[in-house]
Amino acid sequence: MRRKGDALALLTGSQARRAALAAQGLARPRPTGRLDRRHLRALFAQVGVVQIDSVNVLARAHYLPGWSRLGPYSREMFDRLVRVERYAYEYWAHEASLVPVAWEPLLRWRAAAALAGDGMWRGIAAFGRERADYVADALAQVRDRGPLAAADLAEPGRGGGGWWGWADGKRAMEYLMWTGQLCVAGRRPSFERLYDLPERVIPPAVLGLPTPDPHDAVRILLGHAADRLGVATAGDLADYFRLPAAVARPRLAELVENGELVEVGVVGWSARAYARPGLTVARRAAGRALLSPFDPLVWERARTRRLFGMDVVLELYTPAPKRRYGYYVLPFLLGDRLAARVDLKADRAARVLRVAAAWHEPDPGSDIPAPRRPGRPGRAGRAGRPSDVAADRVLAGADPEGVDLADRELADRELGGAELEGAELEGADPGGSASDGPDPSSPAAVAAELAAELAALAGWLGLDRIEVVANGTLAPALTRAVAALGAAG
């Protein structure tokens, strides 16, 4: 632990990027060979939180982190792992998310706070108070009839239209889910939630675990975030599980005091950062992946600017004439750089992957100071490893990490950075090569790698060809690369 007067360990921006990529399973090429359920369990062990969003212009958001890290895995296998085997469950972690079901005890404090009217949307909290009889009747219907969608209630009410014009039935079901009285049992093909009692969704072995003290739970969540971010500011750590600053700040200080996290500096970062004492920084990054705008690597926009120099802008709800990059834009990771961004749409009827725009990103330099925050919103939403002693006490009878140790080992072996030669934080290599692959500053090199990535993505989505619209600085080179790929095939 750093004592008063000790110098902070100082990392370069490049080291911070590589640490983040390794923590997220994106520092190395995807695994080769057959992908099975062990890889999907390892995915959850690696990222911890898989954000959900209803937009389906390319693929549902919760499927894309698996593509980015694994390649062409089976989405049906993913659904079975979550909905049948109950390896993960859906709750408010980082927005609406899938998290390992073994972590359910760590989030009970959030449900209890919601029941007291704290930490949930004001309109839903007010509805729960003011329409308590209606909410109680909705709960009774689920208890008596089994899994129900909001529209299945005897008197579901009528919505007001638009994204958030929810009917009374939807408000009641969401209130019951947020407060832990109901869980999401599944989703219909329309993506409509089905709600059921927790004892019919959460495995008994998990439901029977003791409820941890909220302070213990928050420390563990901050530790989980640290393990999955590599190097992070206090804000980054809190954001991973959407922890309020007032809740996270004292627990973070305790983790530092206990020696479970250490304070570090990063060149170009104005805020102090934190990392595990034994953090190893990979000497190179060799991954290649398209990333959903809801991917854990990029979902916190200020962090993405600090690490990569890219403003990831979510323009789904921006009027078309005002969009800068497009409707559903995915950053393209090449080595340790976000080297491009592409606006993608899966035209399922025509079996075409359409590239509505493609933009090459200029080299931001090796140490990236935080650019001035733009006026548009930053996060990808609509509108933080603890000590083994603490984990053992809180989750008695369960793996201290909350996920199977074999899954963590597989994640480290096939997704993480353990295989890459690295340097520990103490006395870390001041620079180190960022990547040994294609030059991300070359549009032609980026276009060739992106074309190969798009071809693989199209195949995974069941699409037959790629069409590139002449829009964006990378579009000409990408058009040529896609054509060359077709000729080569």
Where exactly are the structural domains of the chain? 7-100+212-282, 121-202, 313-369+440-488
The structure tokens listed for 279 are 């953090």
The structure tokens listed for 239 are 């954001």
Would you give per-residue pLDDT tens digits along the chain (489 residues)? Answer: 354 445 578 999 999 999 999 999 999 999 999 999 999 999 999 999 999 999 999 999 999 999 999 999 999 999 999 999 999 999 999 999 999 999 999 999 999 999 998 888 889 999 999 999 999 999 999 999 999 999 999 998 876 655 456 899 999 999 999 999 999 999 999 999 999 999 999 999 999 999 999 999 999 999 999 999 999 999 999 999 999 999 999 999 999 999 999 999 999 999 999 999 989 898 899 999 999 999 999 999 999 999 999 999 889 989 999 999 999 999 999 999 999 999 999 999 999 999 999 999 988 765 565 444 433 333 344 333 322 222 222 223 334 345 565 665 666 666 654 333 344 444 344 444 455 688 999 999 999 999 999 999 999 999 999 999 999 999 999 999 999 998 655
pLDDT at res. 112:
96
Question: Which CATH fold topology does 121-202 show?
Answer: Arc Repressor Mutant, subunit A (1.10.10)
Q: Which helix (H) or strand (E) holds 9?
A: strand 9-11
CB 450 within 8 A of CB 466: no
When computed from its CA atoms, the radius of gyration of the chain, rounded to whole angstroms, is: 23
Determine the Cα–Cα distance for residues 206 and 15; give it in Å rounded to an integer: 38
pLDDT at res. 391:
28
pTM given for the model: 0.87
CB 242 within 8 A of CB 291: no
| Cβ neighbours for 259, distance < 8 A, ≥ 6 positions apart | 1, 277
Determine the Cα–Cα distance for residues 226 and 279; give it in Å rounded to an integer: 10
One of 1.10.10.10, 1.10.150.120, 1.10.3720.10, 3.30.1490.190 is the CATH number of 7-100+212-282, namely 1.10.10.10
Q: Which helix (H) or strand (E) holds 231?
A: none
Domains 7-100+212-282 and 121-202 share a fold: yes
- DSSP character for 61? G
